[in-house]
Structure 1
Amino acid sequence: MDWLILAFLGTIFFSGAGVLDKLLLSNCTNDSTAYIVCQTLIQQLFIIPVLLFAEIDFTYPGSLIALLFGCMQIFPTFFYMKALQAEEVSKVSALECVYPVFIFMGSIILFGEMLDLKCCAGGAMLILGTFILSYKRGGSLHNTDSRYAKMLKGITSVSPTIKLFMAYWILTAIYYLALKYLLNSMDEWNFHVWSSIGTLIVIMPLMSRQSVRTGVKNIFGQGSFAVGALISEEALQFLGQIFSLFAYAIGSVTLVSSVGALQPVLTVILIMTLGVLAPKLARGLNERTDRESLAQKGVAFLVVLIGIYFVG
């Protein structure tokens, strides 16, 4: 079960990175493109220790494919950040984790993976938990006296950010399915370095835009707290990526991805902990903590825990 431990640790770090993303986007900038550029620039700092302590070399065509992977992975990030600006981080985490459904279908076709009934049930529970968390009460109705408004009042509707995730799920599933194949011929450290460089290559043309340069300057100019939070976010992102890479290398692509469905639950726990230890920061997340919302998240928590048990 080494893959399960690695996948779980990766999910914990990704959860922390997501909360910091929301804090920074809510309090330091409203330009998600500039924020992604800042992330990518900081990300390059974390390949330095890898270059010093791991054996990194250029191989053909593996390194070029890893560069391409880095270029490709930046595009789902744009959808993710847009959604994070518009919705609670716990709900975004829930919607983000639907991509294992597409991975499951792809792994059967490409790798011939066959899962027993218990694992399939666990995966279904994980997906169900994310959907429970992504649903919310119907928004305000303009004509509350209308007969139809009364009928619709209280109906549960899915988060509108789901539209942003349609492309995200497909691109992310393709990424992880191809990743599993590539890791058969390349070690995890080489993949991380070359894909990080690929990400840098993609964002460099964005710096030609005056609005992006101004946004990047504004973020880095907000003082040590903003820069420190950004570095911390990228440190958590780095750890999440490394643990996940090693998990994918030794485990089933479907099961490792399914463990990622625990991220929304971990995000909620982290937010609640932050609310006790640093309530001022927690308020900046704009996360709903009323009784109804907590009950909804609690049900999702139980469903996901059952799913993790079955998968394990």
Structure 2
Amino acid sequence: MNWIIAAVIGYALFSGTNIIDKLFLSRYKTTPLAYYVFAVTPSMLFIPAAIILGLKIPWPLLFIIMGLGVVFIISILLYLKAMQLDDASNIMAVWQLSPVFVLILSHILLGESLTLWSYIGFFLLLLAGFFLSIEHTQGIRIKKAALLVLAACSLSAVYAVAVKYISGTLTPVEILVWSRLATFMATTVIFFTMPKIRREVYDIAKRSYYPYVLIMTLFILGNAGFFLWTYSVAKGSVSIASVLGATQPVFVFILALLLSRFVQELKEDYGRAVLIKKALALLFIIAGLVALNWQV
């Protein structure tokens, strides 16, 4: 599979997880940390998966993978907090700043460089993200929730570059399994050492079957998307794989638009100005994808 296509499909799947995040946090009014601890619970399934697949513990890279688990948790918690403050499509738009950090770090730490057409595509996609992340009131201002997302962006950039580094030794399947198990171990520690979070998780667990349906859907979409993204990073440029995330807010917007008639929590601003802004951003995304594929 073409690694660019793999990344785009991965981000389409991630958009489904964004919708679930927004729906869960809006409906159950729980803290982001308790929600995340509950959401990571199905990752225990990777324990038998590792045994069945005969995967060996990657001792030389174990500490890097464990560190990635912690970095991933912190970045996700910052993102979830921002998700409580703003529309899902706007949050994911600001997230598009992450590729700038990735571009810088990958060049410094990995010596990665891009072709002219790749740079053109990169900045067209980045422009789409900027275009979606601003709002017009009395001038242009960055939304308050963007501060949390920017902090998450810097951590996600570290995560992406580290995944590119270990992809030279581990396969995408191994990265998926071990990174998810590292995250599961970290959230297990949180669960047993923080009574307040444990009570919140129990409260969620005692509800109807609906939270479990959401979490299992999140588990499937999130891990399938992560596998495709990891494959893209391993086979291609981590900078381009990251900036292709500019497609994600478009997928989020489309999903929210389709589901908002049935799910009250997903209602957003669908006025004419918003639709025009998102349509123009989509044109930038298409132009960026064309530029990237011009030399692939």
TM-score for both structures, normalised by structure 1: 0.88
Query: Which of these residues, 250, 255, 276, is aligned with residue 295 of structure 1?
Result: 276
Task: Say if 2:34 and 2:198, in contact at 8 Å, map to a contact too.
Answer: yes
Indicate the residue corresponding to 2:252 in structure 1.
267
- Structure 1, gaps ≥5 residues long: 139-151
Take 1:132 and 1:91, find their aligned partners in 2: how far apart are those partners?
10
The yes-or-no answer on 1:71 pairing with 2:49 is no
Query: Which of these residues, 179, 198, 202, is aligned with residue 213 of structure 1?
Result: 198
Indicate the residue corresponding to 2:240 in structure 1.
255
Indicate the residue corresponding to 1:36 in structure 2.
36
- Structure 2, gaps ≥5 residues long: none
Task: Say if 1:42 and 1:231, in contact at 8 Å, map to a contact too.
Answer: yes
Take 1:55 and 1:192, find their aligned partners in 2: how far apart are those partners?
14
Indicate the residue corresponding to 1:22 in structure 2.
22
After superposition, give the CA deviation of every residue in 1:86-131 in whole Å (9 maximum; x if it has no partner).
0100011111121111111122222322222221111111111111
After superposition, give the CA deviation of every residue in 1:253-281 in whole Å (9 maximum; x if it has no partner).
11111212210111111122224xxx121
| Per-residue deviation, 1:200 | 2.0
Take 2:149 and 2:69, find their aligned partners in 1: how far apart are those partners?
19
Take 1:261 and 1:302, find their aligned partners in 2: how far apart are those partners?
12
Indicate the residue corresponding to 2:227 in structure 1.
242
The yes-or-no answer on 1:167 pairing with 2:148 is no
Indicate the residue corresponding to 1:103 in structure 2.
102
The yes-or-no answer on 1:309 pairing with 2:293 is no
Indicate the residue corresponding to 1:142 in structure 2.
none
Indicate the residue corresponding to 1:148 in structure 2.
none
- Structure ID, larger Rg: 1
Q: CA RMSD in A?
A: 1.7
Take 2:275 and 2:258, find their aligned partners in 1: how far apart are those partners?
14
Task: Say if 1:67 and 1:196, in contact at 8 Å, map to a contact too.
Answer: no
* Aligned CA distance change for structure 1 residues 48 and 210 (closer, same or farther; 3 Å): closer
Indicate the residue corresponding to 1:7 in structure 2.
7
Take 1:88 and 1:52, find their aligned partners in 2: how far apart are those partners?
41
Take 2:156 and 2:217, find their aligned partners in 1: how far apart are those partners?
24
Take 1:186 and 1:178, find their aligned partners in 2: how far apart are those partners?
12
Indicate the residue corresponding to 2:114 in structure 1.
115
Count of residues in Structure 1 that have an aligned counterpart in Structure 2: 292
TM-score for both structures, normalised by structure 2: 0.92
After superposition, give the CA deviation of every residue in 1:114-171 in whole Å (9 maximum; x if it has no partner).
2222211111111111111111233xxxxxxxxxxxxx3xx23221111112321211
Take 1:291 and 1:49, find their aligned partners in 2: how far apart are those partners?
50
The yes-or-no answer on 1:280 pairing with 2:262 is yes
Take 1:196 and 1:62, find their aligned partners in 2: how far apart are those partners?
14
Deviates more, 1:198-207 or 1:82-91: 198-207
Partner-residue secondary structure (3-state), 1:157 = strand
Partner-residue secondary structure (3-state), 1:284 = helix
After superposition, give the CA deviation of every residue in 1:45-79 in whole Å (9 maximum; x if it has no partner).
3x257336533111321234222222221110110
Take 1:201 and 1:248, find their aligned partners in 2: how far apart are those partners?
25
Task: Say if 2:135 and 2:142, in contact at 8 Å, map to a contact too.
Answer: yes
Indicate the residue corresponding to 2:215 in structure 1.
230
After superposition, give the CA deviation of every residue in 1:247-305 in whole Å (9 maximum; x if it has no partner).
11111111111212210111111122224xxx121x31242112222222222122122
